[in-house]
Amino acid sequence: MNTMRRRLPALLAALGLCGMAVTACQREPDGQKSIHAERVDVGLVTDSPGLSFSDHKSDPRGFDVDLAHGVVGHLGQDQKAVPFIINNVGQRDQELLDRDVALVVAAYSITKARNERGIDFAGPYLKTDQAFLVRPGEKFGGDQIGGRPVCVIDGSTADQATAAWALDGTDPRVRSRQTILSDCIALLKEGTVDAVFDDEIVLYGYLGELPEEFQVKLPGRYGQTQYYGIGILGGHQDDCRAVNDALREYLTGQWKTDFTNNFDEIPADRYASVNPFLPDEGDMGKLSCQVKDEPVP
């Protein structure tokens, strides 16, 4: 009986601790960013004119930036997107996995491999083929493409797509992998490489900055269609669906205006009747909110 008396307070204390633990689990863990906060931290990579660019003196601007503000605005009346600058595209996964940001809007392609790493996506909000950026007047296509030196961003989906390129001289060869696209552009300017291979929309963004210096070539058989999504940590499917709902409002409203304003170098006949860069509802159903479990921190 005495033993029982001694154990009772300890038991009650333990029960109390358990109760506190359960209550704590219902809240966002400390430091984790949420889409329900008044200020929603949105990861952006600012080295891509047209999509998202900053000279570090002014605020970032571009399609991704407009979209981030638009979608967060549709999430809640009092909510505001706060840009969180990610150094380069290679760090997007880690910023989400580290819970440093609630969302990532940074030319972030939806891939199965990212889903498997615990990164989920709302969207897509934009789709794009992959293409080559070359010097004006450069003959690059068909027979002239074999063995030509090409630059890609290290670890990007464009880089991954080059894995299928043959090494028998009939296909282009990756001669340089850079961390940021502007370094690839510099190599193209100085003639070290003959082309930069990346998403068509990214290359058109650069063309907007330097229209006289480059041209975009759609190569047809190289690269895959990319679907840009809004990155969100896996295991938060309700949040993901809420972002989808906000995105739907944006896609049927402001999307067209923001697209035209930010990509004025894309020939108008490219989207005269149907805009190939605009995803449809079916794409959203197949690609978004797929990750059920939250990755372990």
Partner 1 sequence: MRQRVHWAELLGMLVLVGINAWVVNEQYGDLAKSIALVVGVAVTILEVLSYFEVLDEITGWRVNFRQSVNAVSIVASVVLVCLVVWPVVEYFRSGDVTDRVMLENNLGIDPGEEVGVRVDDLPGDGRDLKIAFAVKSQNPDAGFCEPFTYLETTDPDDPERGRQNEDSNFEFTFPTGASGRALEFAVVVRNENGDQNCAVNVTTEKAELKR
Please select the residue that binds partner 1; options are 46, 52, 79, 111, rule is CB under 8 A.
Answer: 111
**Shortest distance, position 287 Cβ to partner 1, whole Å:** 6
Give me the least distance between CB of 131 and partner 1, in Å please.
Answer: 12
- Binding mask of the shown chain, residues 51 to 90, with x at each position contacting partner 1 by CB under 8 A: ----------------------------------------
For β-strands 130-134 and 195-199, DSSP reports them as: antiparallel
Checking 7-10 for CB contacts under 8 A at 24+ apart, the result is: none
User: Three-state DSSP class for 222?
Assistant: coil
Q: From 95, 75, 74, select the one nearest 83 (Cα to Cα).
A: 95
Distance CA 64, CA 68 (A): 6
The single residue among 35, 195, 251, 287 that binds partner 1, judged by CB under 8 A, is 287
121 close to 109: Cβ distance less than 8 angstroms: no
Measured distance CA(162)–CA(164) in Å, rounded = 5
Task: Pick between residue 155 and residue 235 the one whose CB is nearest to partner 1.
Answer: 155
Choices 4-12, 82-90, 219-227, 247-255 (CB under 8 A): range interacting with partner 1: 219-227
Regarding 170 and contact with partner 1 (CB under 8 A), the answer is: no
Calculate the dihedral angle through the C-alpha atoms of 115, 121, 124, 125, rounding to the nearest 10 degrees. Answer: -140
- Is residue 94 involved in binding partner 1 (CB under 8 A)? no
Answer yes or no whether residue 225 interacts with partner 1 by CB under 8 A. yes
Distance CA 93, CA 85 (A): 13
**What tokens does 201 get?**
């929309």
Using CB under 8 A, which of 110, 126, 174, 247 touches partner 1?
110
The distance of closest approach from Cβ of residue 46 to partner 1 in the complex, given in angstroms and rounded to an integer, is 24
Is residue 224 near partner 1 by the rule CB under 8 A? yes
Which residue, 163 or 272, is less far from partner 1 as judged by CB?
163
For 207, the token pair is 């063309």
Hey, what are 50's tokens? 């047209």
By CB under 8 A, tell whether 116 contacts partner 1: yes
- Residue 112 near partner 1 by CB under 8 A: yes
If binding is defined by CB under 8 A, does position 14 make contact with partner 1?
no
Q: Is the dihedral of CA 146, 151, 152, 155 positive or negative?
A: positive
Nearest to 226 by CA among 51, 44, 42: 51
- 164 contacts partner 1 (rule: CB under 8 A): yes
Among 52, 109, 178, 262, binds partner 1 (CB under 8 A): 109
Give the 3-state secondary structure of residue 150: strand
3-state secondary structure of 259: helix
Nearer to partner 1, 29 or 142 (CB): 142
222 forms part of the interface with partner 1 (CB under 8 A): yes
Q: Would you tell me which residues interact with partner 1 (CB under 8 A)? A: 109-113, 116, 157, 160-161, 163-164, 220-227, 286-287
